[in-house]
Amino acid sequence: MTFEITFFDGVTAHPRQALLTIINRVWTLIPKQPEEPHHTWSDERIKLEHYRPGASLVLRVEGELVRIQASAEVADLLYQRVKHRETLFQKCYSWMNNVGSVRLVAIGLVVMVGLILSYALWVSPMIGRLAANLMTIEQEASIGHKMADRALEEWEIDHDKSAILQAFFDNLGFDTDYPVRCFVVDETAANALAFPGGTIVVFDSILSVTEDWQQLAALLAHELAHINERHSLETVCRNLSTYLLISVLSGDVGGVSGILIENATKLERLAYSRSLESEADQFGARYLKAQGIDPGNMRLLFDNLERHSIASSRLLQYLSTHPLGEARSSVLPERSLSWPEPSMTSGAKALFRQLHR
Amino acid sequence: MEHLEQQGSPEFNFYGKGSKFFGIAIVNFLLTYITLGLYYPWAKCAIRKYLWGETEFDDSAFTFHGTGKEMFRGFIIAYGILLLCIACFFINPIVAIGVFLIAILILPALAIFGAWRYRVTRTSWRGIYFTFDGDFREFLNMYVPQMLLTIVTFGIYGAWMRVKLQRYLFEHTQFGQLRLGFTGQGSDLFVINLVGFFLMYPTLFLYVPIFMKKRFNFTIDHTYLDDGETKAYLDSILDNGTAFKVLFTNGLLVLFTAGLGFPWALMRTMRMYFEHVIMPEEFDYNALEQQPGYRGGAVGDEMADILDVGLDF
Ligand SMILES: [Zn+2]
């Protein structure tokens, strides 16, 4: 192959017209001025320093700078011959320089949106799960109790009702590894929260929506499932994953619990993902069944909550922390009329009546 | 683009495109973000390679030869120096104050000197490098009293200092065998700055383009090239009307696009500056010859970035 080029020999800035012949990976430069010296380079001695698409190549031949200017086609052909020697950065730079600018911007923006989405959908839940998995039950309980205590400072605890609810919960005898504490707080909003490590906070207003003790049991079973399955911990960690990431990267592992406790009150406004919600429904229903309570009460509770939320906006808060899946109630079993009466009924009924007094 | 056919006085052209610059900036941002900042020196390298590569003199583009690797090394060392200074505080407060005082005098000097040296010695045109033969100790000996004078005069002396530094850096810079020089006077710069200061607010910043034009012309018109026999000055033909038209519309462009128009504005500004510089006709630029010269590291350049100082001529 023979090309017409202009080249600069790295000694002077004088442009030299020349014929460049490439045969068997040997480049031969023959200047048009007869008195000028010829140059012969083998392929492997040539390194690309800079390529400007369709215009010029700056080469380094054994340390000496050689610049070639040529027509767009020739410049591109020469570039194709040397581009396999580019470093990773040069490849990236050449790609940016070659691809059309509109496409470059479009690709950049798409990747950026993709990164943001993948962070929200994938990286931050993963960090949440990772942080949750790294904690032992004891650590979780210790941090969780501190979080709950911090949050409870903001609310007015009804100590009498809290004691009754605790007795009601203990009477149900659900299986759990966590030391579960139950609280009733006087708040106009209707909500129920599960803190990591075993604290259930029930807002007074939601108690009136539960029509019988079995629905209240279903509510507690659902919250307990969030605790047992570490949904609360995961959701909090995920929400704070950016902070956590920074504190872990900066080596400040002790900072993790500080961040969690500092942000305890945020839990009130954190929403579980829909998949965690339906998981809590399934597990909650299983807890009910294990204690001889009809799991259909779970469905009844949520139908009930949904119905009431239309009439009263106060309930919206519960539904925003525990979002309803569209198929939520249809997935859960219906209440059965022939379900045998559970063993704890009399005690539970009495406590339920006290709670509603 | 690069044809080499034109005759007459060689001129500068700038072909940078806002969209391309924007694209490179986005890719840079992404890579810097996902590498937690480690890519930053390479990002800077990509931007410079682009800007240098789109600037032509006499139909040949400049080339930026700096690499991400050497800038990364500079970046690490510059940070190391700063951390070392901070670490002194934990050892002994009195030592720390001493180190601190020395540091605020020396580090900006290192940044200004190093940034200029790095950029100059990593630039080539038609295969001929720019070279620099300044000496940091010499520069520092000049810088420190100048800085102290500036502090004592509450910044008034700053214009004179700036001119002195500029002269030193220019006079130690060569383009092939052509040595740069600078004959601007501190008093002239002071007057430009003073007028700028008094007119900026009353004109609601409409004076900014005129101010920038005056500063630019001050630098260009007082810069000369010297081949040992002939001294010849550069000339700026940038006028108030052009400067106002370009810079004012740039301001609007950035303002009304919430900053997204910045790449286009920057490209327009650079184009305006380059295309209004007339190089002296006295020299045959084809006869430029490669000179031996300094090829040191990038510490000062990175320090300039970290401390956010530097002379932007
Ligand atoms: Zn839930």
Distance CA B151, CA B164 (A): 16
So what's the pLDDT on residue B312? Answer: 47
So what's the pLDDT on residue A327? Answer: 61
The answer to whether the CB of B271 falls within 8 A of the CB of B16 is: yes
The answer to whether the CB of B44 falls within 8 A of the CB of B71 is: yes
Measured in whole angstroms, the distance separating CA A41 from the mean position of its chain's CA atoms is 54
Alpha-carbon torsion (A103, A104, A107, A108), positive or negative: negative
- Determine whether the interchain pair A65/B4 forms a contact, defined as Cβ–Cβ distance below 8 Å: no
State the smallest CA–CA distance between residue A76 and chain B in angstroms: 14
**Looking at residues B64-82, what average pLDDT do you find?**
85
Place of tokens 């220019």: B170
So what's the pLDDT on residue B35? Answer: 87
- Give A-chain residues touching B65 at CB under 8 angstroms: 49-50
**Looking at residues A154-160, what average pLDDT do you find?**
90
Grouping H, G, I as helix, E, B as strand and the rest as coil, residue A175 is coil
Distance CA B173, CA B133 (A): 7
- Give B-chain residues touching A16 at CB under 8 angstroms: none
Residues of B contacting chain A (CB within 8 angstroms)? 1-2, 4, 17, 19-20, 22-24, 26-27, 29-31, 33-34, 36, 42, 45-46, 49-50, 53, 60-61, 63-65, 67-68, 124-129, 176, 285-290
Chain B residue with Cα closest to A75: B2
Chain A residue with Cα closest to B50: A97
Distance CA B126, CA B37 (A): 34
The answer to whether the CB of A192 falls within 8 A of the CB of A159 is: no
Gap between the terminal Cα atoms of chain A: 99
DSSP A105-134: HHHHHHHHHHHHHHIIIIIHHHHHHHHHHH
Phi then psi for residue A69, to 5 deg, are -115, 135
So what's the pLDDT on residue B252? Answer: 92
DSSP A32-85: SSTTSPPEEEEGGGEEEEEEETTTEEEEEETTEEEEEE--HHHHHHHHHHHGGG
User: Is the model's pLDDT at B313 over the cut of 50?
Assistant: no
Written as six digits, the tokens of A107 are 């690709």
Residues 6+ apart with CB under 8 A from A114: none
Rounded to 10 deg, the angle between the B240-256 and B208-221 helix axes is: 130
- Determine whether the interchain pair A50/B53 forms a contact, defined as Cβ–Cβ distance below 8 Å: yes
Q: Which residue has the higher pLDDT, B42 or B4?
A: B42
Residue spans per domain, chain A: 2-86, 137-355
Grouping H, G, I as helix, E, B as strand and the rest as coil, residue B288 is coil
User: Is the model's pLDDT at B104 over the cut of 70?
Assistant: yes
Render pLDDT for A293-339 as a digit per residue (tens, 0 to 9): 999 898 888 888 888 776 666 666 676 777 765 566 667 888 888 88
**Looking at residues A207-231, what average pLDDT do you find?**
91
Render pLDDT for B111-128 as a digit per residue (tens, 0 to 9): 888 888 888 888 999 989
User: Is the model's pLDDT at A270 over the cut of 90?
Assistant: no
pLDDT tier, B152 (very low <50, low <70, confident <90, very high otherwise): very high
Largest CA distance in chain A: 115
- Give A-chain residues touching B46 at CB under 8 angstroms: 89, 92-93, 96
Residue of B36, B123, B124, B126 best to disrupt the A interface, most CBs of A under 10 A: B126
Distance CA B59, CA B49 (A): 17
**Looking at residues B253-261, what average pLDDT do you find?**
89
Q: What is the DSSP letter of A309?
A: H
Distance A241 CA to ligand 1 centre (A): 21
Residue among A10, A96, A112 whose CB faces B127 most closely: A10
**Looking at residues B210-215, what average pLDDT do you find?**
93
Chain A residue with Cα closest to B41: A89
Query: B303, exposed or middle or buried, with CB in 10 Å at 0-12, 13-18, 19+?
Result: buried
Number of Cβ within 10 Å of residue B235's Cβ equals 14
Residue of A98, A104, A110 best to disrupt the B interface, most CBs of B under 10 A: A104
Grouping H, G, I as helix, E, B as strand and the rest as coil, residue A200 is strand
Q: Mean pLDDT, chain A, as a whole number?
A: 84
- Give B-chain residues touching A12 at CB under 8 angstroms: 128, 286-290
Residues 6+ apart with CB under 8 A from A100: none
Q: What is the DSSP letter of B39?
A: T
Residues of A contacting chain B (CB within 8 angstroms)? 6, 8-15, 49-50, 52, 54-56, 58, 65-67, 69, 89, 92-93, 96-97, 99, 101-102, 104-105, 107-109, 111-112, 115, 249
CA–CA distances in Å: residue A139 to residues A131, A135, A250, A258, A263 = 12, 6, 21, 13, 17
- Which of A58, A5, A73, A74 is CA-nearest to residue B53? A58
Residue of A4, A29, A48, A52 best to disrupt the B interface, most CBs of B under 10 A: A52
Chain B residue with Cα closest to A95: B24
- Which of B7, B50, B13 is CA-nearest to residue B28? B50
Helix (H) or strand (E) holding B125: strand B123-125
User: Is the model's pLDDT at B311 over the cut of 50?
Assistant: no
Q: Are strands B173-175 and A181-185 parallel, antiparallel or unpaired?
A: unpaired
Residue of B26, B130, B257 best to disrupt the A interface, most CBs of A under 10 A: B26
Grouping H, G, I as helix, E, B as strand and the rest as coil, residue A195 is strand
Helix (H) or strand (E) holding B115: helix B93-121
User: Is the model's pLDDT at B235 over the cut of 80?
Assistant: yes
- Determine whether the interchain pair B67/A89 forms a contact, defined as Cβ–Cβ distance below 8 Å: yes
- Which of A226, A199, A234 is CA-nearest to residue A323? A226
ipTM of this complex > 0.95?
Answer: no
**CATH architecture of residue range(s) A2-86:** Roll (2.30)
Distance CA B31, CA A242 (A): 18
**Looking at residues A47-56, what average pLDDT do you find?**
88
Q: What is the DSSP letter of A12?
A: B
What is the percent of chain A where pLDDT is above 90? 25
What is the percent of chain B where pLDDT is above 70? 91
Number of Cβ within 10 Å of residue B166's Cβ equals 20
Gap between the terminal Cα atoms of chain B: 26
Distance CA B199, CA B210 (A): 10
Residue among A11, A14, A112 whose CB faces B286 most closely: A14
Residues 6+ apart with CB under 8 A from A101: B17, B19, B20, B22, B23
Record the pTM: 0.72
DSSP B184-241: --HHHHHHHHHHHHHHHTTTTTTTHHHHHHHHHHHHHHTEEEE-SS-EEE-EE---HH
CA–CA distances in Å: residue A35 to residues A30, A31, A111, B114, B174 = 10, 8, 55, 42, 30
- Determine whether the interchain pair A49/B290 forms a contact, defined as Cβ–Cβ distance below 8 Å: no
Chain B residue with Cα closest to A98: B20
Distance A226 CA to ligand 1 centre (A): 7
Distance CA A126, CA A245 (A): 11
Grouping H, G, I as helix, E, B as strand and the rest as coil, residue B134 is coil
